[in-house]
Amino acid sequence: MLPGRLHQGLRPREGRGDAALREMAATGPAFVAGQAQNPAYRPTPPSPYRASGRFLDMRRGFAVAAALAMAVAASACSSRSPDPLEAIRFTRISGPMPAVSGRTLAGQPMRPRDYSGKVVVVNFWASWCAPCQREQPGLQALWTRLMLSGTVAFVGVDYRDQAGAGRAFLRRFGVTYPSLSDPAGHLGDAFRVPFLPATILADAGGHLRYRLVGAQDARVVGRLISMLSSPAR
């Protein structure tokens, strides 16, 4: 699957992660060869969302996407060649975390107070996104390990998907943390999500800290959570 085109006007402007964080991230398979094999992408979702102007715009971006894919493949052949998507895959971000609220796909209410004072992991996914399916078991296993700590909150956001398909995805992968539906993509816009899947981490003070794009190794996400949970952070 080819990488999708960035939102118009939503190209990341934040600084890249420092050398130490990039080295840490590189220990996870998802940040090296695995990313070339399983890139983040934003394909046209199934009907009825196919008519969205933003996604129709992507058709004109296929040539650019193909060129990017060729560049990624070329970089995989030589460790010295720069990865053109590196700055997008792992980015340090800042600013207040946008509020996440509404009814979950299970029908339960979610309010900002439910995750206030906790390290928050917001994962954007869709049932039609193959890399999202690949990373989901690892994220669920990580949540199962951390849920009793009381210091971490996981929130899923089903991006531009049909609610029925989203609920089937949650059942298939046994997801136990809450997931909201974002059929119009408003939450994705608020979090400046460039591709799916995307995982955003915020600290306990409600400040955005990291954005990870593409199917993630849960060990990398876990280490970032540990860093944000440390008093020194």
**Which CATH number is 187's domain given?**
3.40.30.10
Q: Is residue 6 part of a domain?
A: no
Q: Is residue 5 part of a domain?
A: no
Number of domains in the chain: 1
According to DSSP, the residues that pair with 119 across neighbouring strands are 152
Full residue range of the structural domain in which residue 28 is found = 19-229
Q: In 10 A of CB 38, how many CB atoms?
A: 17
The pLDDT, as a whole number, for residue 115 is 94
- Alpha-carbon gap, residue 5 to 187, rounded angstroms: 18
How far apart are alpha carbons 141 and 146 in whole angstroms? 9
- Tell me the C-alpha distance between 140 and 154, whole Å: 9
- Residue 206: which of 107, 118, 93, 137 has the closest Cα? 118
Contact between residue 19 and residue 33 where contact means Cβ atoms under 8 Å apart: no
Q: How far apart are CA 25 and CA 75, in angstroms?
A: 18
Predicted pLDDT of residue 42: 53
Is residue 71 domain-resident?
Answer: yes
Residue 3 lies inside a defined structural domain of this protein: no
Q: How many CB atoms lie within 10 A of CB 206?
A: 17
pLDDT tens profile 10-32: 333 444 445 545 554 444 433 33
pTM of the model: 0.68
Residue 103 lies in a domain: yes
Cβ(144)–Cβ(154) below 8 Å: no
- What confidence tens digit (pLDDT) does each residue in 68-105 have? 444 333 333 333 455 445 555 888 999 999 999 999 99
Over residues 159-180, the mean pLDDT reads 96
d(CA 91, CA 158) in angstroms, rounded, equals 22
Strand partners, 104: 180
14 domain residue, yes or no:
no
CB atoms within 10 A of CB 81: 12
Residue 89 confidence (pLDDT): 80
Note whether residue 30 is domain-resident: yes
- Express each pLDDT in 150-163 by its tens digit: 999 999 999 999 99
Taking the C-alpha atoms of residue 174 and residue 171, their distance in angstroms, rounded to an integer, is: 5
Question: Residue 2 falls within a domain, yes or no?
Answer: no
Terminal C-alpha separation, the chain:
37
